[in-house]
Structure 1
Amino acid sequence: MATRSSNGTERPTQLPDYVVADLLAHDRRRRALEILRERDDPVIVADLAAAVLAAERDQSPASVDQEAVEELRRELYEEHIPRLTATGIVAYDSLKGTVELQRPDLLSVAD
């Protein structure tokens, strides 16, 4: 999401504080955003799910149970990614199955 300033340059649209707070209120969504912030490239959703679970369980992503990864991948697809793409915080590439952070500036609210 972006708007054009008076000089024609794009600038991010400001989201209301209550929207940002709501998006960051869910632990898994916040953790997923933090992981995306640490990476410069788009992340495959299944890899993001494994990273979120690994962080929750203090494990390596490779040691996380694949059934749990699939469950969280589905949760990300159905619940979190749609909310984050609708607000422009992330971009989802359905052809590649990747997600990428677009608005790291909004994560400073959680810091």
Structure 2
Amino acid sequence: MTATPDSTVDCTETVVSILEWLEQCEVSPEAVDEALGVLSNSRRRRFLEVMRTYDEEITLPDAAEEVAVRESGSTVQELSADRVANVYLSLYHDHLPRLIDAGLLEYDQERDLVWPTF
């Protein structure tokens, strides 16, 4: 995929903003790499956005539904059950463990509840 001029400017501005922020704080290069790795996936970013929006424990199926809504731009009623199930499986098997390891989320598997730690 090639970048359009607008996306190139947006990317450049974002990188410069991040570099300026990094100059002002004392963060180890390893912590920066880990944080950027966590944020490198759009589904993980949306998952974190959902958790910040609710700022309390919610069921993982509800979080998956909200992530699917945000990804597709559709309403809940327009989403297929397969779409939500695919998002749920992706969150459960890939993104949730990474975010738990990063200390950003907690998960109660027995109750299928997730909540932010930030």
| TM-score range for the pair, normalised by the shorter chain length | 0.7 to 0.9
Matches of 2:77 and 2:40, distance apart in 1:
27
Residue 35 of structure 1 corresponds to which residue in structure 2?
50
Matches of 2:115 and 2:78, distance apart in 1:
24
Matches of 1:96 and 1:16, distance apart in 2:
31
- Which protein is richer in strand relative to its size? 1
CA RMSD of aligned residues (A): 1.6
Residue 96 of structure 1 corresponds to which residue in structure 2?
111
- Corresponding position: 1:68 with 2:83: yes
Larger Rg: 2
Deviation >4 Å, runs of 4+: none
Instruction: Give 3-state SS (helix, strand or coil) of 2:93's partner.
Output: helix
TM-score normalised to structure 1 length: 0.75
- Which protein is richer in helix relative to its size? 2
Cα offset for 1:31? 0.5
- Corresponding position: 1:84 with 2:99: yes
Render the CA deviation track for 1:20-67: whole Å, top value 9, x for unaligned. 110011000000100100113212111111111111111222431111
Structure 1 residues not aligned, in runs of 5+? 1-13, 104-111
Instruction: Give 3-state SS (helix, strand or coil) of 1:41's partner.
Output: coil
Residue 66 of structure 2 corresponds to which residue in structure 1?
51
- Give the number of equivalent residue pairs: 90
Structure 2 residues not aligned, in runs of 5+? 1-27
Matches of 1:36 and 1:62, distance apart in 2:
21
